[in-house]
Chain A
Amino acid sequence: MLELRKDVFADERDDNLKEIGKGTQRQDMLGHVTGTSTYFDDHKLQGMLHLKVVRSTHSHARLRRIDTSEAERSPGVRRIIRGADVPRNLNTLLSLINFGKDDEPSLAVDKVRYKGEPIVAIVADSPRDAYEAMAKVRIDYEPLPAVFDVEDALKPGAPVVNEVYPKNTFTYYETYDHQKLRFGDADRGLASADHVLEQRYQMSPIEHAPTETNGSIAAPDTNGRYVVYTSTQALFFSLDTCAKILDVPSNTFHFIGGTVGGGFGGKVDTLTEPLCILGAMLTGRPVRYQLGREEEMQYGPPRGAERIYIKDGVMRDGRVVARKIRAYFDSGAYTRLSSYAAVKCAAHLPGPYTIPDVYGDIYCVFTNRTPATAMRGFGVTAMDFAIECQMDKLSHLVGMDPMEFRILNAYRDGDMKAHRREAKNTALIECVQVAAEKAKWPIREEFKRMSSRKDGGGSRAAVPPTPREPHKQPVTASQQRITYDRAPAATREPPPPTPTPPPPSPPAPSHGATRFSSVFGTRRR
Chain B
Amino acid sequence: MAKTALQFRHNGRDVAIFVDGGTNLLVALREGIGDMTPKFGCGQGGCGACSVLIDGELHLSCLTLAETVAGRSVETLDGIKDGPNLHPLQRAFAENFAAQCGYCTPGMLMAAKALLDRNPSPSRAEVVEAISGNICRCTGYEPIINAVLAAASGGRARA
Contact = CB atoms under 8 A, between A and B. Distances in A.
Contact of B36 (A25, A28, A42, A262): A42
Given A39-B39, A210-B103, A293-B47, 6 more contacts: A25-B94, A29-B99, A39-B103, A212-B39, A212-B49, A259-B102
Q: Which of A35, A209, A262, A263 counts the most chain B CB atoms within 10 A?
A: A35
B44 A34 contact: no
A33 B88 CA distance: 11
A264 interface: yes
12 contacts: A28-B102, A32-B105, A33-B94, A35-B77, A38-B36, A39-B39, A212-B41, A259-B102, A260-B101, A261-B39, A263-B101, A293-B46
Question: From DSSP, what is the main secondary structure of chain A's interface residues?
Answer: loop
Question: From DSSP, what is the main secondary structure of chain B's interface residues?
Answer: loop
A211 B103 contact: yes
**B: interface residue count bin:** 35 or more
A16 to B, nearest CB: 22
A35 B49 CA distance: 11
Contacts of B31: 44
B90 A33 contact: yes
A262 B106 contact: no
Nearest to A290: B40
Interface in B89-104: 90-91, 93-94, 97, 99, 101-104
B101 to A, nearest CB: 5
Nearest to B147: A33
Contacts of A41: 39-40
Interface string B68-112: 000000001110010000100011011001010111111001000
Contacts of A39: 39, 103
Contacts of A96: none
A495 interface: no
A292 interface: yes
A264 B138 CA distance: 9
A37 interface: yes
B47 A211 contact: yes
A208 B101 CA distance: 14
Interface residues of A, number: 33
Contacts of B13: none
B101 A261 contact: yes
Contacts of A26: 97, 99
Contacts of A33: 86, 90-91, 93-94, 99, 102, 105, 109
Interface in A285-321: 290, 292-293
B41 A211 contact: yes
Q: Which of A41, A211, A212, A292 counts the most chain B CB atoms within 10 A?
A: A211
A377 to B, nearest CB: 16
Contacts of B138: 262
